[in-house]
Structure 1
Amino acid sequence: MKKWRFLGIDDSFDDKKCCIVGCVTCDGYVEGFMYTEIEIDGLDATEKLIAMVKKSKFRKQIKCIFLPGITFGGFNLVDIQQVYGETKIPVVVVMRRKPNIEEFDSAMRNVENYDTRKRIVEKAGEIHKAGNLYIQTAGLSFDEAEELVKAATVKGNMPEPVRIAHLVASAIIHGESRGKA
């Protein structure tokens, strides 16, 4: 049986810098990392993420991209449909809590380009409950996404590549890993 490789992506930031770390795993084993930087509250997360994936030596082997949400570096939103469209790799957004869309929308009004950001949120699609998580998908069905989440999870609820990407990104910015993905 062919083994699946998963890419988990997470960020960490302070007032000066936002780093994006990608972690590639196969059977829970770390095979490699990717790195890029984005603007805090900018609009470059989608393009930077796509470029990071496209130039990776792992690109053709990745079965799925996992994100812990669509916001990175504050309100720098990732258009998951565009990521799927340009990489042809399915995307699954995996969240521990269902976002309060009204609060999110209200906060999003405090940064520039509200209409652009609102469209990205709408394009991300419906949020589904999957066990103890909430997920959104691009390029695959909810059932397929749920199967991939289970396959990528070693311990707990979060897919292992997202958990590891979170630890590395927070260590880059804060000097040591912090919090949960």
Structure 2
Amino acid sequence: MTVEPRIRQVKREIRTLGVVAKRYKDGGSLIIGVVFRGGLYLDGVLKATTHDPDITNTMVEMIKSSPHYPQIRVLILHEALIDEEVRIDPSQLYNEVKRPLILLSDGDFEGEHRPPINVLEVELGGKTVKVIPLGLRGREAEKILMVTTRDGALPEPIRVADLISSALICLDEQKI
């Protein structure tokens, strides 16, 4: 039996990594990770690309090779911001990166992204978001989401990662 790492206290400046994946027109994937301290300060940006439709191994390599890896306490993914043509295995990501993971969705979890565990509902910015915590208790996941969310229903690391990835995809399409 493995013992999951506990987060004893959710501090105001807990370092989280929000990850977003988008597709290039050529079929490759752009993976952007943003390290935030709470919902306050951007500490770093991670980037990787791959042509493999299963991006799990690329994400693991990107995260573990980052100079920010030792400080990252929790990973946050949002199902709507992982392109539908891309596959990711949240359980494998959690097991290989050895960090708790919070998977968010605006609706029901579907297909590849849904590990076989209970789904919680959390209120963020007046909107109900579905949450699957891996390596965290539901209450810990909820506290982390409250600390990392400023306005709206997206935690800052996810919101900023989405902005950066959208800008990079746009620049690539315009060949700037």
TM-score (norm 2): 0.79
Correspondence for 1:94: 104
Structure-2 separation of matches of 1:174 and 1:126: 37
What residue identity is the alignment partner of 1:148? I
Equivalent of residue 157 in structure 1, options 109, 128, 153: 153
How far the C-alpha of 1:123 sits from its partner, in A, is: 2.6
How far the C-alpha of 1:100 sits from its partner, in A, is: 6.7
How far the C-alpha of 1:57 sits from its partner, in A, is: 0.7
Correspondence for 1:129: 121
Equivalent of residue 32 in structure 1, options 44, 58, 71: 44
Correspondence for 1:58: 68
What residue identity is the alignment partner of 1:147? K
Correspondence for 1:108: none
> Which one is further off, 161-170 or 31-40?
31-40
Q: Specify whether residues 126 and 142 from structure 1 end up closer, same or farther in structure 2 by C-alpha distance, changes over 3 A only.
A: same
Correspondence for 1:11: 21
Any stretches of 5+ residues in structure 2 without a counterpart? 1-10
How far the C-alpha of 1:129 sits from its partner, in A, is: 1.3
TM-score (norm 1): 0.77
The answer to whether the 8 A contact 2:17-2:74 is kept is yes
How far the C-alpha of 1:94 sits from its partner, in A, is: 1.7
Equivalent of residue 134 in structure 2, options 109, 131, 138: 138
Correspondence for 1:84: 94
Root-mean-square deviation (CA), in Å? 2.3
Structure with higher helix content: 1
Structure 1 vs Structure 2: percent identity of aligned residues? 24
Which runs of at least 4 in structure 1 moved beyond 4 Å after TM superposition? none
How far the C-alpha of 1:77 sits from its partner, in A, is: 1.9
The one-character-per-residue Cα deviations of 1:136-162 (angstroms, maximum 9, x if unpaired) are: 121111211111111111211211000
Any stretches of 5+ residues in structure 1 without a counterpart? 102-117, 177-181
Q: Specify whether residues 171 and 46 from structure 1 end up closer, same or farther in structure 2 by C-alpha distance, changes over 3 A only.
A: same
